Amino acid sequence: MGGDQGEAPLATAPPWAAVSLRLIQSALMAVNRRTRGYLAALAATVLWAGNFVLARGVAHDIPPIQLNFWRWTLALVCMLPLALPKLKADWPGMRKNWRYLSAMAFVGVAALNALIYKAGQTTQSLNMALLVPTAPIIIIVLSRMVYGEPITYRRLAGVGVVLVGVLALISRCDWRHLAAVTFTPGDLWALAGAACFAVYSLFIRNRPACISIEGFNAAMFGAGLVLMLPALAWEWAVLPHPVWNFPVVAAVLYAGVACSFAAYLLWTKAIAVIGPVLAGIVYYSLPLFAAVESVVILNERIAVCHILGGVLIVAGIMIATMDRTSMTTRS
């Protein structure tokens, strides 16, 4: 998608942004288009998994709306150098599609992560891991209802295998842990966040072709920040102010640069190539990467259940996303 815009934006972008974009484009050009879509969805999922790990420790140091606001402010600052050179060409499309942009900004920027951060204040990590896989399931159902996409036996089988892997991972292969889970009001916030992500992923495929990916994301980030202002003002007046310690600053930096700027670019590209259903199935791997990153960042130990769950998740994704025509061709 980025290659059809020419080299002018790269020439006017800051060196760090131009170099980063060139590296991403070079890596993606080395593989075919469909594979690039899967890799983009996988990379976005890896980045989002880190968000859960880092945000876990700052839930009580910064209120959810303020964390979300500063995250997207930083993301917008990162996106503007890439989007501004395309603003003249994108502006007519933005004006024409302002309702769509506003709706996507509300669902994907203002509401989604604020709900997740709010849930993190009262919801156990086990509950969160149980609720994360609901987003791809919602995507599959909504894709059937809205776009008439078939729910094939292969996809159902892949989803089933992935769900078993997720349950094995979060229960540590002891199903009694699942029976002992107690649900809190925060779980409703997490479910609402998962639903927002599903709706965003479903309708991102309708991004107007007259708006570049960079321009679309910049407009969405900016509109989302404006939509957050009333809730931000209320939270600032009622709740304690943030504690700007190192973990909070690190969480905001990672969430803004990696989880918002980079991941949303990657996810938008993935949806454009492979569609929301297949990208959503790749999203199932988030608990696997969250576990790996917890080992690296939090020094948690790897157990047999992590290996078993990871194998099942990867196998399920392969089953659900394998192209049958390519299989028959190879055989």
pLDDT in tens, 12-56: 556 666 666 666 666 656 567 788 888 899 999 888 888 777 766
| The total number of residues written for the chain in this structure | 331
Spatial distance between the Cα atoms of 215 and 82, rounded to a whole number of angstroms? 8
> How far apart are the C-alpha atoms of 104 and 223, rounded to whole Å?
9
How far, CA to CA in Å, does 59 sit from each of 56, 114, 218, 280, 312?
6, 11, 27, 26, 31
Per domain, the residue ranges of the chain are: 35-323
- In the predicted model, what is the mean pLDDT of the chain? 78
Residues 181-239: pLDDT tens digits?
A: 666 677 778 788 888 988 988 888 888 989 998 899 999 999 999 999 999 999 999 98
Q: Which residue has the tokens 């938008």?
A: 268
Task: Give the pTM.
Answer: 0.71
| Integer Cα distance of 266 and 299 in angstroms | 28
* DSSP codes, 36-98: HHHHHHHHHHHHHHHHHHHHHTTTTTS-HHHHHHHHHHHHHHHHHHHHGGGHHHHHHHHHHTH
Residue with tokens 């509109």: 223
Query: Nearest CA to 267 among 31, 17, 91, 46?
Result: 46
How many beta carbons lie within 10 A of that of residue 144, not counting itself? 13
- pLDDT, tens digit, 9 for 90 and up, residues 92-131: 999 999 999 999 999 999 998 888 888 777 766 555 656 6
Q: Which of 125-129, 142-146, 299-303 is the most confident on average?
A: 142-146
**In the structure encoding, which two tokens stand for residue 196, read together?**
């927002």
* Residue 4 DSSP one-character state: G
Per-residue model confidence (pLDDT) at position 329: 33
**C-alpha 144: how far from chain center:** 21
Question: Cβ atoms within 10 A of the Cβ of 23, count?
Answer: 10
